[in-house]
Amino acid sequence: MATCGNGKQRLFVDGQVFAERDVPDDLTLSYNGTKGVYLGHWQGNGFFDGTMGKAYILKRALTGDEVRAVYAAERKRFKKT
């Protein structure tokens, strides 16, 4: 899961922060429903080569505790074999 808010972009793996970088505190995303939503890459700058189990688009970044709660609730669906 990835979150972006409060000046940080974070990537979580198995409910734990895997990578983090600074972004502008006032970073916003506007969406008017007429353009595509890009998941897994910045437009024109590479891409994610894999599978996404679920995608959430929320109005705010989840806290670390909220990410861990989602992970705990969903992890059985994505159990490694």
The tens digit of pLDDT for each residue in 20-64 reads: 999 888 877 777 777 777 776 666 667 777 777 788 888 888 999
Enumerate the domain spans of the chain. 2-31+38-63
The pLDDT value recorded for residue 48 is: 73
pLDDT range class, residue 1, cuts 50, 70, 90: confident
Q: Cα–Cα distance between 38 and 18 in angstroms, integer? A: 21
Return the sign of the alpha-carbon dihedral for residues 16, 46, 51, 73: positive
The pLDDT value recorded for residue 44 is: 63
Q: Contact 8/60 with Cβ under 8 angstroms?
A: no
Q: Contact 49/63 with Cβ under 8 angstroms?
A: no
Q: Cα–Cα distance between 53 and 29 in angstroms, integer? A: 23
Q: Cα–Cα distance between 4 and 63 in angstroms, integer? A: 10
The pLDDT value recorded for residue 42 is: 62
